């Protein structure tokens, strides 16, 4: 049995994602693909556009054999911790043979070479630059300014950066999982324009940008406004998106504006530097500008500067919103860092993947959670506290979604894995 892993957000799932799943199976001969997917909050410091159950169904209908949730602590972290948390999770399952990821370069040799070089030369001043408030890419670029131009160019593109971090995490943990990359097609990660045809893949960012511009005024009045996205997504994923938009079951940062403002007010006297990704200078900047707060997205734009990216600020504000403070393990040296991943939450699977699930149960060093209620019997102490925090984050997302749609709040403990034929 050959098992491939893909780390993804599917926010939402588009043609490029379906292409990656298809090509991974075709090029590697993998019998199964497991998607390790972010839950209700994503790496850019925002709520997922669609809830994790809708996105799980998209993934299964578009070729994934199983979907396992990447915990919020890592899903909403910077590239280094995002990658290391995901690799730690998949390694503990004991069945994954290779990790497939997209990259702008498509050159695995260059990516692995960069990862090995960074592991051997990870400079001490990188941590200090991050503490000063620089974004991770900016800190790394400054820290490695003496390296060759080719390597510096490689570390500018977002998917290359993630790919290098995946390789770093695999090499540092001496994992037997093999890296495999597929060249990214279509527009760039940050490109907000929709591509003209189905072969020219549009990014998830461009799809979200289109929805942000068009959804509010058109969702009820003009149900056909989504048609420009039809060519950008697989048929099954597009149908699920249409159903969600019709029911107003989608979220953006500003849907959490009031909750964020309350959290900022509550923590104002103590400052914010204990929260993950928040430097003392950013904490001071938040405090100084709080009196002019006008919403989640507007506040990110207001705080943005040359040295502080929108994403870094948004991620910090999300950590404040969720109450995520810097874990002590995040402060340990990379090579000796042990990140807690006490369980694997199964979000969904295809019936044909029954042998895969059996193999996971037989080989995994952590519990595979399919029934949430079983967590109290399988976990204890810090592991149980980790799980309960994840339930709180999901419940907050579901609460905001329910207020917007007028539907009852979905109880995490009543949710079973999605199963499709």
Model pLDDT for residues 264-278, shown as the tens digit of each residue: 999 999 999 999 999
Q: pLDDT tens for residues 133-171? A: 666 666 666 666 655 666 777 878 889 999 999 999 999
Strands annotated E in 9-114? 32-38, 41-42, 46-47, 66-70, 98-103
Task: Supply angle C-alpha 97, 102, 104, rounded to 5.
Answer: 140
| Residue 125 confidence (pLDDT) above 80 | no
Predicted pLDDT of residue 197: 65
Q: pLDDT tens for residues 340-361? A: 999 999 999 999 999 999 999 9
Task: In whole angstroms, give the CA distance from residue 263 to residue 245.
Answer: 29
Task: In whole angstroms, give the CA distance from residue 200 to residue 162.
Answer: 22
Check: CB of residue 12 under 8 Å from CB of residue 59. no
What's 61's DSSP letter?
H
| Residue 371 confidence (pLDDT) above 60 | yes
pLDDT band at 221 (very low <50, low <70, confident <90, very high): low
What is the percent of the chain where pLDDT is above 70? 88
- Please indicate whether residue 224 or residue 4 has the higher confidence score (pLDDT): 4
Predicted pLDDT of residue 193: 74
Check: CB of residue 357 under 8 Å from CB of residue 367. no
What ranges do the domains of the chain cover? 3-187+334-420, 204-252, 254-328
Distance of CA 57 to the CA centre of its chain: 17
- Token pair of 116, please? 């090995």
User: Comparing C-alpha atoms, which of 47, 52, 85 is closest to residue 252?
Assistant: 47
- Please indicate whether residue 128 or residue 46 has the higher confidence score (pLDDT): 46
Task: In whole angstroms, give the CA distance from residue 46 to residue 32.
Answer: 30
DSSP 319-371: HHHHT-B--GGGGS-GGG-------EEEEEEEGGGHHHHHHHHHH-SS-EESS
User: Comparing C-alpha atoms, which of 325, 367, 373, 376 is closest to residue 342?
Assistant: 367
Q: What is the dihedral of CA 88, 93, 98, 104, to 10 degrees?
A: -40
The CATH number of domain 3-187+334-420, selected from 3.30.70.1230, 3.40.50.620, 3.40.50.300, 3.40.1110.10 = 3.40.50.620
Predicted pLDDT of residue 127: 62
| Residue 417 confidence (pLDDT) above 70 | yes
What is the percent of the chain where pLDDT is above 90? 78
- The per-residue b/e assignment along 381-403, b for 16 or more CB within 10 angstroms, e otherwise, is eebeebbebbeebbbbbbebbee
Please classify residue 283 by burial: count the beta carbons closer than 10 Å to its beta carbon, then call 0-12 exposed, 13-18 middle and 19+ buried.
buried
Average pLDDT over residues 396-417: 96
Predicted pLDDT of residue 153: 74
User: Comparing C-alpha atoms, which of 330, 415, 360 is closest to residue 85?
Assistant: 330
Check: CB of residue 111 under 8 Å from CB of residue 197. no
Predicted pLDDT of residue 336: 83
């Amino acid at each position: 049995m050959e098992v491939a892993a893909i780390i993804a957000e599917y926010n939402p799932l588009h043609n490029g994602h379906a292409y990656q799943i298809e090509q991974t199976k075709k090029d590697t001969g993998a019998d199964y693909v497991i998607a390790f997917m972010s839950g209700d909050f994503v790496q850019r410091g925002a709520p997922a556009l669609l809830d994790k159950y809708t996105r799980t169904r998209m993934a299964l209908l578009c070729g994934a054999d199983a979907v396992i949730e990447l915990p919020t602590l890592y899903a909403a972290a910077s590239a280094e911790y995002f990658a290391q948390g995901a690799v730690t999770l998949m390694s503990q399952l004991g069945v994954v043979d290779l990790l497939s990821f997209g990259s702008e370069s498509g050159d695995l040799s260059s990516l692995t070479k960069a990862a090995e070089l960074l592991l051997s030369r990870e400079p001490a001043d990188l941590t200090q630059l991050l503490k000063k408030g620089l974004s991770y890419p900016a800190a790394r670029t400054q820290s490695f300014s003496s390296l060759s131009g080719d390597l510096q160019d490689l570390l500018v593109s977002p998917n290359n950066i993630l790919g290098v971090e995946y390789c770093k995490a695999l090499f540092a943990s001496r994992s037997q999982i093999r890296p495999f990359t597929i060249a990214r097609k279509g527009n760039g990660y940050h490109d907000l324009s929709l591509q003209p045809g189905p072969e020219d893949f549009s990014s998830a960012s461009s799809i979200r940008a289109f929805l942000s511009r068009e959804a509010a005024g058109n969702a009820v009045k003009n149900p056909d406004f989504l048609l420009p996205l039809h060519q950008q997504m697989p048929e099954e994923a597009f149908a699920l998106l249409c159903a969600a938009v019709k029911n107003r079951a989608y979220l953006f940062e500003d849907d959490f504006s009031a909750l964020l403002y309350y959290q900022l007010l509550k923590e104002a006297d103590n400052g914010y530097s204990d929260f993950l990704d928040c430097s003392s200078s950013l904490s001071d900047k938040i405090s100084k500008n709080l009196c002019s707060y006008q919403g989640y997205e507007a506040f990110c734009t207001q705080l943005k500067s040359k040295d502080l990216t929108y994403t870094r600020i948004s991620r910090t504000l999300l950590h404040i919103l969720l109450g995520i403070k810097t874990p002590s393990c995040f402060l340990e040296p990379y090579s000796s860092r042990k990140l807690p991943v006490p369980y694997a939450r199964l979000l969904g699977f295809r019936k044909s993947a029954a042998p895969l699930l059996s193999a996971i149960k037989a080989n995994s060093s952590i519990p595979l959670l399919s029934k949430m209620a079983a967590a109290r019997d399988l976990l204890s102490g810090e592991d149980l506290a980790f799980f309960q925090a994840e339930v709180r984050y999901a419940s907050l997302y579901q609460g905001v979604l329910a207020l917007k749609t007028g539907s009852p709040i979905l109880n995490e403990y009543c949710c079973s894995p999605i199963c499709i034929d």
